[in-house]
Amino acid sequence: MTGVPPWGEALEEKRRLFNDCEAARLLAMECTDVWDGGARVAMDCAGKLNAMGVCHGGAIFALADQAFGIAANQREMQVAVSVHIEYIAPATGRIEAVAARRAETENRSLYQVRVFEGERLVAEFEGVAWKK
């Protein structure tokens, strides 16, 4: 099927919806891939540097949260109830957040998001979502 992404039209529509939201446009984040329970979102650090000349932690968090939101809201609406991030290394260039569902119950789901600059791990984010 030409023109239909391998993940299907419904997930492609979710990807478009998240790419077009105000926060994604403001921070120039782009969801580049989506699959059942996962997503990849990229952003350039240019224009988001802190006083030390590296990507602001809030921008890295926003990127990880965007990937988490896309991954968690594919089948049903979910809201974050708990998130945790660990910053591992500074970044200055293009970064990517890769989110994946790790576990779920009837009411909650757990996602891991890893943020990379190239092959280097920049941050790890864990999010718990409540299924509405």
Tens place of pLDDT per residue across the chain (132 aa): 344 444 467 777 777 888 999 999 999 999 999 999 999 999 999 999 999 999 999 999 999 999 999 999 988 899 999 999 999 999 999 999 999 999 999 999 999 999 999 999 999 999 999 998
- For the chain, the domains span 9-131
Domain 9-131 top-level CATH class: alpha beta
Any idea what DSSP says for residue 106? S
Bridge pairing between strands 120-131 and 78-87: antiparallel
Q: What pLDDT sits at residue 10?
A: 77
- Of the candidates 37, 40, 55, the one whose C-alpha atom is nearest the C-alpha of residue 114 is 40
- Of the candidates 70, 61, 57, the one whose C-alpha atom is nearest the C-alpha of residue 30 is 70
Q: What pLDDT sits at residue 8?
A: 61
Mark out the alpha helices in the chain (DSSP H runs).
9-19, 22-27, 57-72
Task: List beta partners, residue 6.
Answer: none
